[in-house]
Amino acid sequence: MNIMNVDYTTKIPNNVNLSEDRQVLKALEGWHPGYIDWWNDMGPDGFQQSLVYLRTAYSVDPRGWAKFDYVKMPDYRWGILLAPQEENRVIPFGERYGEPAWQEVPGEHRAMLRRLIVIQGDTEPASVEQQRHLGKTAPSLYDLRNLFQVNVEEGRHLWAMVYLLQKYFGRDGREEADELLRRRSGDADSPRMLGAFNEKTPDWLSFFMFTYFTDRDGKMQLHSLAQSGFDPLSRTCRFMLTEEAHHMFVGETGISRVVQRTCEAMKDAGISDPSDITKVRGLGVIDLPTIQKKLNLHYSLSLDLFGSEVSTNAANAFNAGVKGRYRETQIEDDHRLQSSTYPVLKMVNGQIKRVDEPALTALNMRLRDDYTQDCAKGMLRWNKIIATAGYHFKLTLPNVAFHRQIGEFKDIHATPEGVLIDDATWNKSKSEWLPSTDDGDFIGSLMTPVTGVGGFAPWISPPKVGIDNKPGDFEYVKIET
């Protein structure tokens, strides 16, 4: 078979020759009903009989890999897709730098690889669970489609990780695959593994923030795993990144459209002060200070996903050749990092200081810095919209010490500017920096669904272009209840 094209003749579409890999095919077919049960219980609430204009991968060729058609979500063909194997690929970092990449799991790194795959796998269904109620309040059919596209692809990412577990990790891999369907986002007894994936996604602004900030953490993690010496993991992650780009597009353009609409409404009403929250809210749009608060929340929650700034686990995974750096192969250094250092922000004598740490243990910090740089691009775009509308207001990323639950800053409080403050000041001021119940209630009050073809809720602008070159007033979802 041609690795570029996906085999749709088996029950589980794939480009890994499953029809000749009976044992793994059987394991996956055995897992399939539980997955469908999970989708029915925890996937999008409602709309399961609706026809959704979705893309499905038919190839892993970057020049053209997806086709669009109307699909009922439960009939979506979730498949196992790996990027083509690179000939003579070598481990691009760590103690085994330059040795041939592994096609099987090396025994000494088995536990570490399994843990990383399980953690990545756990985030995929978690976000679907977090977003399951959003369909009921979608601001348009266009947005509804985008939500469902993200959801079915996160489902596919779960399949991608489950394939690795079942093919390469034997019995304990199968057990982990079952556990991935058992945990639930926000559940008191068996929550998802990472904090941000147990938070609520109560409204569409949260959804856009989540896809901008939290899916972007996913991008960074996938990039690091795409460098892995374990070649099947690398190939899996490389293809997932192709899909992931759309999720972040949904976030970035979603926030752009909210900002755009707010600015237009303020201008039309002759409001000159964007911080006049009462007046702006009176127009039925989300004021910029509240957008900033949502941004503060989602950015800080996502920073926690990078783990502790200084971490021996991260060093071990790098040394082992299991998890590399963002764009490892494009970095010009020795790729072993035995004697280099990296500046890390730490608490020293009650102050935030930059301290040189061994580069190996500072890998989480480095990845987080790369992430922050990537996040900053959105600010430029959104601030341009605000400036073009003639307003003096800037959306900014809060300081990394702000509102943290993991790492160096978890025991202190800091303002979004990074000024250390005591508990009392924090408690008094936090509702200026993070969404309050009132803010949530206001945003919630705007979340009335718009299901007419070509209609958009009044708090968000239509997109500049549609999906798959379709116009904005295309019937992206044929709603059937």
**Looking at beta carbons only, is 157 or 325 nearer to Fe ion?**
157
| Secondary structure (3-state) at 67 | strand
Among 192, 216, 247, 294, binds Fe ion (CB under 5 A): 247
**Looking at beta carbons only, is 215 or 408 nearer to Fe ion?**
215
User: Between the CA of residue 327 and those of 163, 360, 370, 393, what are the distances in Å?
Assistant: 25, 16, 10, 34
**Looking at beta carbons only, is 127 or 137 nearer to Fe ion?**
127
**Looking at beta carbons only, is 196 or 320 nearer to Fe ion?**
196
Q: How far is the CB of 238 from Fe ion (least distance, A)?
A: 13
Taking 3-state DSSP, the helix, strand and coil percentages for the chain, each rounded to the nearest 5, stand at 50, 10, 40
If you ran DSSP here, which 8-state letter would residue 14 be given?
A: B
8 A C-beta contact, residue 5 and residue 139: no
Q: How far is the CB of 21 from Fe ion (least distance, A)?
A: 24
Under rule CB under 5 A, which residues in 89-128 are in contact with Fe ion?
A: 124
Q: How far is the CB of 154 from Fe ion (least distance, A)?
A: 5
Total number of residues that touch Fe ion (CB under 5 A): 6
Q: How far is the CB of 177 from Fe ion (least distance, A)?
A: 16
Stretch that binds Fe ion, among 81-89, 160-168, 242-250, 314-322 (CB under 5 A): 242-250
Stretch that binds Fe ion, among 69-77, 241-249, 299-307, 372-380 (CB under 5 A): 241-249
For residue 142, how far is the Cα from the chain centroid? 20
**Looking at beta carbons only, is 122 or 154 nearer to Fe ion?**
154
8 A C-beta contact, residue 313 and residue 211: no
Under rule CB under 5 A, which residues in 125-164 are in contact with Fe ion?
A: 154, 157
**Looking at beta carbons only, is 244 or 287 nearer to Fe ion?**
244
- Cβ neighbors of 25 (< 8 A, separation 6 or more) are 10, 12, 18, 19
Q: Can you tell me the distance from the alpha carbon of 474 to that of 336, in angstroms, rounded to the nearest whole number?
A: 52
- Cβ neighbors of 411 (< 8 A, separation 6 or more) are none
Under rule CB under 5 A, which residues in 174-233 are in contact with Fe ion?
A: 215
Q: How far is the CB of 156 from Fe ion (least distance, A)?
A: 8
Does position 413 interact with Fe ion (CB under 5 A)? The reply is no
- Residue 139: phi, psi to the nearest 5? -75, -10
Q: How far is the CB of 199 from Fe ion (least distance, A)?
A: 16
Q: How far is the CB of 231 from Fe ion (least distance, A)?
A: 20
**Looking at beta carbons only, is 212 or 391 nearer to Fe ion?**
212
8 A C-beta contact, residue 255 and residue 230: no
- Cβ neighbors of 205 (< 8 A, separation 6 or more) are 255, 258, 286, 291, 294, 443
Which residues contact Fe ion (rule: CB under 5 A)? 124, 154, 157, 215, 244, 247
